[in-house]
Chain A
Amino acid sequence: MSEALHYHFDVDGASFANAGRASVETKKLLRQLGVSPEIIRSISVAMYEGEINMVIHAHGGDADVYITEDTIIIILKDVGPGIRNVEEAMKEGFSTAPENIRALGFGAGMGLPNMKRYSDEMHIDTKVGVGTTIELWYHLNK
């Protein structure tokens, strides 16, 4: 990935109101680069869900976007509590989000399923007590 464009965003975990900023910025960047609207929407939704998750569960983290000619990779990394049971977390409707987050419109147990739905490949590396890194892959020449 030596020739990849790389953009880095800090995901501020202190403020729910700021969650999604990196996704909005990434969406603008991808538009400027001429990426197709369908792929941009998929990336935006998946990254946005990831950002929301990082703010809800992990006090924020890092979002990195790598763009090559044929692939876009989003890496979301946090040092939060980790995901205890990934298989369970992938089920639609399963959520460990507190009630106050549901009142804000999230925590419906659609975060990880949405990320999977809106990516070509999703790789989760998580360890309880250490953190979670999620890679979202998009192949541009499908």
Chain B
Amino acid sequence: MKISQVAEILNANVLTGEDMLDHEVHSACGSDMMSDVLAFVKDQGVLLSGLINVQVIRTLLMMDMNCVVFVRGKVPPAGIVDFAAENGVVVLQTALPMFESCGRLYCAGLGRKDQPEEAACECGCCSPAEGLNGNDHE
């Protein structure tokens, strides 16, 4: 999945990294505990987090991850966005909560071993079969 699709599925703002939206990501991890990310993330992927500090970006750099999504409407300060930009990390920001953000990406097939086209997703807004119309769930 391209980072641009991640942004579209999550109705996310792109705070930096516009030039990297074509990059592919293969998995995602939702966590506010950076040590857990360091311990368990295997493939290059997207980190979704409600934690906002510079160590989130450093954790991504250590893990060779290139995209972070700040969830729950939290807006990172400019210093963090600048640090991400300097190091080639895409920063997305969505109003959606963590649970729904992860759910939408999972439904759309990110990080799944089964075939997303065949997987039944009933939310109606994020299944690839239904197209990505970007509507809210409500």
Contact = CB atoms under 8 A, between A and B. Distances in A.
A16 B30 CA distance: 23
B61 A110 contact: no
A17 B77 CA distance: 13
Nearest to B87: A24
A113 B61 CA distance: 20
A48 interface: yes
Interface in B60-89: 61-64, 87
Interface stretch (B12-20, B32-40, B94-102, B115-123): B32-40
B85 to A, nearest CB: 15
B54 interface: yes
B43 to A, nearest CB: 12
Interface in B5-56: 32-36, 38-39, 49, 51, 53-56
B42 to A, nearest CB: 11
Contacts of B33: 105-106, 108, 110
Contact of A106 (B35, B54, B61, B62): B35
B34 A105 contact: yes
Interface residues of B, number: 20
A52 to B, nearest CB: 8
Interface stretch (A37-45, A62-70, A83-91, A133-141): A37-45
Interface string A68-100: 000000000000000000000000100000000
A63 to B, nearest CB: 14
A44 B38 CA distance: 10
Interface of A: 16-17, 19-20, 23-24, 27, 37, 41, 44-45, 48-49, 52, 92, 104-111, 113-114, 117
Given A24-B87, A114-B38, 15 more contacts: A16-B53, A23-B62, A41-B64, A44-B62, A45-B63, A48-B38, A49-B35, A52-B55, A104-B51, A105-B35, A105-B55, A109-B35, A113-B39, A114-B35, A117-B39
